[in-house]
C-alpha cells in the first residue's frame, strides 16, 4: 500500500471550512463572539498553526503523558516523600492548586469558544485539542491535590477557592473572566494563548517545576511539567491569530497584548513572586523571581513580540521597576494578612535569607528592612497580636490587589503611591497608571467592587477581621499562619537583648 506523505494529507484534516449558503456568515460567527473587527472575513483562511496535529497523533501522545503522570503519582503514593517536604514549599503547591485548578476548567471553556467561534477551520480544530488538554489539566490538578486533603485541609482549596470570596481569588476571577470568558475569540486568542500561555504559563510551569524538583516535590513537578507540554502546543493558536490580526489592525493587537500582559504580571507578583523568593527553601532556590522574569518574560517574550512586529508595552519602564518591588511589597502583605490566605506564608527573612534577598535585590533593605525589623521585634517579644491585621489594605479597582506600588522620586528614594480617578462622581483608586488606564478603556464593562468597597457598603458583617474571614470562607482549620511557626525570627534575638 502506498502511504500519502504527511504534507499531502495534513491539509485535508485541518482545512474543513466551506462557504455557507443556507445561513448568513454573521449569524454563525457573530461579531460579539468571533470578533473579526477590521479583519476581512476571508483573511482568516490564511490562519496557520506551526505544529500540526491529527487526532490519532493527539490521542497517542496524550495517552503516553497521562500514563507517565499517573505512574509517577502511584509510585510516590507508597513513599514518605510528602511527610518530608518543607512547609514553605508545600505552600507553593497549595497556592498553585487553589489558584490554578479551576482556571484550567475555565480555560477549557475558553478553548471551546474558539472551537466554535474561531474564524478558520484549522483554528477550530486546534481549539478542540486545547479543550481536551484543559479538561486533562483540571482533572490532574484536582486529583493530585485530593490525595493530600486528609493530611492537610488547605489542599481542599484546590476545589474550594473559586467558590469563595477570598481576596486573591476575587483578583484571579477578575483577571481570568476578563481574559478567558468575556472576550470574543480573536481577543481571547491574543490574551490567553498568546500573552498568558506563551509568556507567563511557562514561568509558572517550568520555573516552578525547577524549584519543585530542587525541593524534592517530584510529584508536583511531574504534574506541572506534564501540563506544560500541552500548553506549549495549544498556545500556538495565539501566534497564528496575532499574525492575521497584525496585517489588518495592529493597534488593536498591541492594546490587547499590553492589557493582558500587565494584568498577568500583577497576579504573578502576588502568587509566583513570593512563592519563588520566600516560600521556596533558600538552599533550593535556583534563581530569583526577578531572574526568572528576566529570562522568560523580558528576554523571550519581548523577542516574540518583536517577531510579530509588536512594540514593547507602553508602560515598560514601570514594569521593569516593579520587578524590584511588587512581589516584595505583596509578600509583606501576604505574611501580615496571613489569616486571609489558604496556605502558610513563609516569612523568609532569616539572616541568611535576608542576605540572599539583598544580593538579588539591592534596594530590598532600604525599602523593606525596617518593616520586617518591626515585625521581628514584635515576634521576639511575644507580641504576635501586633503582627496580625485589624483591618484591610486599600485595593486597586482594576487588579484588585493591595495598593503597594512604589514610585521613584527625583532624589533616588521611593514612596508608595495611589493613582485615583474620579468618574461619574465616584473616585476609584488604582495601584498604578496602567491599571488606571485599563479601567478607563474598559469602564463600561467593569463592575467589580473591591473587598474594601464591599466592606464600606455594609456587605460584610460584622465589619471586623473575624467577619471578613468568615465572608471569605476562611475557617480556622485552613486560615494561614507562619510556615515555620516564627522560628526564623530567632536569628534576631540579639536585637531584643540589645534593646533591653
Ligand atoms: Mn491548562
Ligand atoms: Mn492552556
**What separation in Å is there between the alpha carbon of 51 and the centre of ligand 1?**
18
Q: Which of 34-38, 195-199, 260-264 has the lowest mean pLDDT?
A: 195-199
**What separation in Å is there between the alpha carbon of 273 and the centre of ligand 1?**
20
- The string of DSSP codes covering 201-248 is HHIIIIIHHHHHHHTT-HHHHHHHHHHHHHHHHHTHHHHHHHHHHHHH
- Counting ligands in written order, the one closest to the CA of 198 is 2
Are the CB atoms for 242 and 197 separated by under 8 Å?
A: no
| Distances from the Cα of 259 to the Cα of 110, 167, 191, 222, 306, angstroms | 18, 21, 8, 32, 17
CB neighbours (10 Å) of residue 433?
Answer: 15
* Mean pLDDT of the chain, nearest integer: 94
**What separation in Å is there between the alpha carbon of 376 and the centre of ligand 1?**
40
Q: What is the pLDDT of residue 410?
A: 75
Are the CB atoms for 495 and 376 separated by under 8 Å?
A: yes
**What separation in Å is there between the alpha carbon of 104 and the centre of ligand 1?**
5
Distance between CA 188 and CA 126 in Å, rounded? 14
Which residue, chain included where needed, has cell 515576634? 379
- CATH code of the region 53-76+84-499: 1.10.620.20
- Counting ligands in written order, the one closest to the CA of 226 is 1
- Counting ligands in written order, the one closest to the CA of 111 is 2
Q: What is the CA radius of gyration of the chain?
A: 24
Stretch 354-379: mean pLDDT, rounded?
96
Stretch 293-300: mean pLDDT, rounded?
91
Closest CA relative to residue 185, chosen from 341, 297, 28, 294 = 28
CB neighbours (10 Å) of residue 487?
Answer: 12
List, for residues 162-173, the tens digit of each pLDDT value.
999 999 999 999
Q: What is the pLDDT of residue 207?
A: 84
Are the CB atoms for 330 and 269 separated by under 8 Å?
A: yes
pLDDT reading at 2 higher than 80: no
On the 0-12 / 13-18 / 19+ scale of CB atoms within 10 A, 240 is buried
Confidence of residue 407 (pLDDT cuts 50, 70, 90): low
**What separation in Å is there between the alpha carbon of 102 and the centre of ligand 2?**
12
Q: Give the per-residue SS3 of 475-487.
A: CCCCCCCCCCCCH
Closest CA relative to residue 263, chosen from 195, 359, 187, 325 = 195
Which residue, chain included where needed, has cell 514601570? 318
pLDDT reading at 416 higher than 80: no
Stretch 339-359: mean pLDDT, rounded?
98
pTM over 0.75: yes
**What separation in Å is there between the alpha carbon of 235 and the centre of ligand 1?**
10
**What separation in Å is there between the alpha carbon of 190 and the centre of ligand 1?**
16
**What separation in Å is there between the alpha carbon of 360 and the centre of ligand 2?**
31
**What separation in Å is there between the alpha carbon of 332 and the centre of ligand 2?**
30
Q: What is the pLDDT of residue 408?
A: 66
- The string of DSSP codes covering 6-42 is HHHHHHHHH-------SS-HHHHS-HHHH--TTS-GG
Distance between CA 254 and CA 245 in Å, rounded? 10
Q: What is the pLDDT of residue 441?
A: 93
Closest CA relative to residue 369, chosen from 389, 353, 380, 345 = 353
**What separation in Å is there between the alpha carbon of 303 and the centre of ligand 1?**
23
179: Cβ contacts below 8 Å, ≥ 6 apart = 188, 191, 192, 196, 260, 263, 264
Are the CB atoms for 395 and 402 separated by under 8 Å?
A: yes
Which residue, chain included where needed, has cell 499517573? 70
Are the CB atoms for 186 and 114 separated by under 8 Å?
A: no
**What separation in Å is there between the alpha carbon of 436 and the centre of ligand 2?**
28
Which residue, chain included where needed, has cell 531572574? 291
**What separation in Å is there between the alpha carbon of 231 and the centre of ligand 1?**
6
pLDDT reading at 412 higher than 70: no
Distance between CA 24 and CA 31 in Å, rounded? 12
Q: What is the pLDDT of residue 76?
A: 87
Q: What is the pLDDT of residue 48?
A: 95
Distance between CA 63 and CA 66 in Å, rounded? 5
**What separation in Å is there between the alpha carbon of 98 and the centre of ligand 1?**
14
**What separation in Å is there between the alpha carbon of 131 and the centre of ligand 2?**
8
Closest CA relative to residue 186, chosen from 108, 256, 103 = 256
Stretch 455-479: mean pLDDT, rounded?
96
Stretch 70-83: mean pLDDT, rounded?
88
For residue 427, list its beta bridge partners.
422
3-state secondary structure (DSSP) of residue 69: helix
**What separation in Å is there between the alpha carbon of 151 and the centre of ligand 2?**
30
Stretch 426-447: mean pLDDT, rounded?
92
The maximal CA–CA distance of the chain, rounded, in angstroms, is: 91
Stretch 265-288: mean pLDDT, rounded?
95
For residue 406, list its beta bridge partners.
416
Higher pLDDT, 79 or 62: 62
3: Cβ contacts below 8 Å, ≥ 6 apart = none
Closest CA relative to residue 72, chosen from 212, 231, 282 = 212
List, for residues 267-276, the tens digit of each pLDDT value.
999 999 999 9
**What separation in Å is there between the alpha carbon of 211 and the centre of ligand 1?**
20
For residue 428, list its beta bridge partners.
421
Closest CA relative to residue 272, chosen from 299, 300, 291, 298 = 291
**What separation in Å is there between the alpha carbon of 126 and the centre of ligand 2?**
12
**What separation in Å is there between the alpha carbon of 229 and the centre of ligand 1?**
10
- Counting ligands in written order, the one closest to the CA of 129 is 2
Stretch 373-394: mean pLDDT, rounded?
95
On the 0-12 / 13-18 / 19+ scale of CB atoms within 10 A, 56 is exposed
List, for residues 34-66, the tens digit of each pLDDT value.
999 999 999 999 999 988 999 999 999 999 999
- Counting ligands in written order, the one closest to the CA of 139 is 1
**What separation in Å is there between the alpha carbon of 197 and the centre of ligand 2?**
6
The residue count for the chain: 500
Closest CA relative to residue 451, chosen from 165, 174, 98, 162 = 165
List, for residues 97-141, the tens digit of each pLDDT value.
999 999 999 999 999 999 999 999 999 999 999 999 999 999 999
Which grid coordinates belong to 36?
473579526
Amino acid at each position: 500500500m502506498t502511504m500519502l506523505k504527511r504534507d499531502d494529507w495534513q491539509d485535508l484534516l485541518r482545512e474543513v471550512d466551506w462557504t455557507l449558503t443556507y445561513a448568513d456568515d454573521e449569524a454563525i460567527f457573530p461579531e460579539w463572539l468571533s470578533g473579526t473587527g477590521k479583519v476581512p472575513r476571508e483573511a482568516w483562511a490564511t490562519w496557520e498553526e506551526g505544529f500540526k496535529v491529527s487526532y490519532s497523533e493527539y490521542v497517542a501522545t496524550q495517552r503516553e503523558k497521562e500514563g507517565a503522570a499517573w505512574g509517577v503519582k502511584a509510585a510516590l503514593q507508597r513513599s514518605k516523600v510528602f511527610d518530608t517536604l518543607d512547609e514553605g514549599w508545600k505552600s507553593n503547591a497549595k497556592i498553585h492548586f487553589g489558584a490554578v485548578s479551576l482556571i484550567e476548567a475555565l480555560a477549557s471553556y475558553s478553548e471551546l469558544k474558539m472551537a466554535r467561534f474561531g474564524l478558520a477551520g484549522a483554528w477550530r480544530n486546534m481549539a478542540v485539542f486545547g479543550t481536551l488538554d484543559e479538561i486533562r489539566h483540571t482533572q490532574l490538578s484536582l486529583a493530585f491535590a485530593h490525595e493530600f486533603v486528609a493530611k492537610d485541609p488547605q489542599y481542599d482549596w484546590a476545589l474550594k477557592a473559586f467558590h469563595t470570596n477570598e481576596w486573591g481569588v476575587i483578583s484571579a476571577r477578575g483577571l481570568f473572566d476578563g481574559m478567558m470568558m468575556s472576550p470574543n475569540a480573536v481577543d481571547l486568542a491574543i490574551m490567553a494563548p498568546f500573552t498568558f500561555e506563551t509568556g507567563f504559563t511557562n514561568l509558572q510551569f517550568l520555573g516552578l517545576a525547577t524549584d519543585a524538583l530542587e525541593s524534592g516535590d517530584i510529584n508536583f513537578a511531574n504534574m506541572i511539567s506534564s501540563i506544560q507540554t500541552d500548553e506549549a502546543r495549544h498556545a500556538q493558536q495565539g501566534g497564528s491569530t496575532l499574525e492575521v490580526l497584525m496585517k489588518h489592525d495592529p493597534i488593536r493587537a498591541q492594546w490587547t497584548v499590553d492589557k493582558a500582559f500587565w494584568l498577568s504580571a500583577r497576579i504573578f507578583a502576588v502568587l509566583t513572586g513570593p512563592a519563588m523568593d520566600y516560600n521556596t527553601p533558600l538552599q533550593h532556590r535556583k534563581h530569583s523571581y526577578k531572574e526568572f522574569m528576566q529570562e522568560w518574560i523580558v528576554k523571550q517574550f519581548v523577542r516574540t513580540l518583536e517577531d510579530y512586529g509588536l512594540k514593547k508595552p507602553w508602560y515598560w519602564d514601570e514594569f521593569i521597576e516593579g520587578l524590584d518591588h511588587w512581589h516584595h511589597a505583596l509578600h509583606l502583605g501576604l505574611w501580615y494578612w496571613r489569616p486571609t490566605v489558604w496556605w502558610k506564608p513563609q516569612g523568609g527573612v532569616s539572616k541568611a535569607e535576608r542576605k540572599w534577598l539583598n544580593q538579588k535585590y539591592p534596594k530590598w533593605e532600604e525599602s523593606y528592612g525596617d518593616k520586617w525589623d518591626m515585625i521581628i521585634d514584635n515576634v521576639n517579644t511575644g507580641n504576635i497580636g501586633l503582627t496580625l491585621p485589624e483591618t484591610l489594605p486599600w485595593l486597586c479597582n482594576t487588579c484588585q490587589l493591595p495598593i503597594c506600588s512604589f514610585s521613584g522620586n527625583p532624589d533616588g528614594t521611593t514612596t508608595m503611591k495611589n493613582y485615583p480617578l474620579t468618574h461619574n462622581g465616584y473616585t476609584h483608586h488604582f495601584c498604578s497608571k496602567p491599571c488606571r488606564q485599563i479601567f478607563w478603556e474598559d469602564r463600561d464593562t467593569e463592575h467589580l467592587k473591591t473587598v474594601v468597597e464591599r466592606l464600606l457598603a455594609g456587605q460584610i458583617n460584622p465589619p471586623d477581621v473575624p467577619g471578613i474571614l468568615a465572608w471569605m470562607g476562611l475557617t480556622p482549620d485552613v486560615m494561614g499562619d507562619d510556615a515555620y511557626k516564627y522560628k526564623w525570627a530567632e536569628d534576631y534575638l540579639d536585637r531584643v537583648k540589645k534593646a533591653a
